């Protein structure tokens, strides 16, 4: 298998892990919160934090590395409009993902505390959950846009950079 093939495979697998883990986390967290049971929410949120740490964080690091390597091997100039736009969207995703990681930890801890004290979820839980939920949408659409850019490689002029 040629280096280009390995880089493409790892890059696509990384993108798949980012997208799939994100959607899976969102689904399971939303289903857990719907129960309003602090024990269930605490358990699921704990798994969500672990999954984000193992899968998402690893893929977040690998994506730019494999993308850069692939661009070099294939001969794509790094100032191609579609590459620059993909990188900009990647930064946008990160700007939404980093607070989401912190929020997931807070939601987990709030639910654990409520479960341990046998109380309902605290008042700030729902507000924080809504922020967490809302932050998923721009990140989701940015990932879809990056997929489109990678697949179509449109000719895009960005500020005269390409």
For residue range 13-49, list pLDDT tens digits in order. Answer: 999 999 999 999 999 999 999 999 999 999 999 999 9
- Whether 160 is covered by a domain: the verdict is no
- Whether 81 is covered by a domain: the verdict is yes
pLDDT of residue 157: 74
As a whole number of angstroms, the distance between CA 5 and CA 144 comes to 23
- Whether 18 is covered by a domain: the verdict is yes
Say yes or no to pLDDT of 160 above 60. no
For residue range 129-149, list pLDDT tens digits in order. Answer: 999 999 999 999 999 999 999
- Whether 157 is covered by a domain: the verdict is no
Say yes or no to pLDDT of 56 above 80. yes
Quote the strand ranges of 49-153, DSSP E.
none
As a whole number of angstroms, the distance between CA 32 and CA 70 comes to 39
Domain hosting 133: range is 3-152
- Whether 21 is covered by a domain: the verdict is yes
For residue range 75-125, list pLDDT tens digits in order. Answer: 999 999 999 999 999 999 999 999 999 999 999 999 999 999 999 999 999
For residue range 102-111, list pLDDT tens digits in order. Answer: 999 999 999 9
As a whole number of angstroms, the distance between CA 66 and CA 86 comes to 14
- Whether 61 is covered by a domain: the verdict is yes
- Of 129, 143, 38, the C-alpha closest to 91 is 143
Total domain count, the chain: 1
Say yes or no to pLDDT of 162 above 60. no
pLDDT of residue 101: 94
- Whether 161 is covered by a domain: the verdict is no
């Amino acid at each position: 298998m040629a280096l280009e093939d390995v880089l493409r495979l790892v890059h696509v697998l990384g993108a798949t892990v980012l997208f799939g883990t994100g959607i899976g986390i969102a689904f399971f967290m939303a289903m857990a919160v719907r129960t309003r049971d602090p024990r269930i929410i605490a358990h699921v949120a704990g798994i969500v934090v672990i999954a984000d740490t193992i899968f998402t964080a690893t893929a977040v690091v690998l994506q730019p590395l494999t993308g850069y390597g692939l661009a070099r091997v294939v001969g794509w100039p790094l100032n191609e409009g579609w590459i620059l736009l993909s990188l900009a969207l990647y930064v946008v995703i990160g700007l939404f993902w980093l607070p989401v990681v912190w929020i997931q930890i807070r939601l987990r801890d709030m639910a654990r505390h409520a479960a341990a004290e046998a109380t309902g979820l605290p008042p700030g839980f729902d507000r924080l959950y809504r922020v967490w939920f809302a932050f998923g949408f721009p990140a989701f659409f940015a990932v879809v846009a990056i997929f489109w850019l990678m697949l179509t490689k449109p000719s895009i002029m960005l500020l005269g950079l390409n």
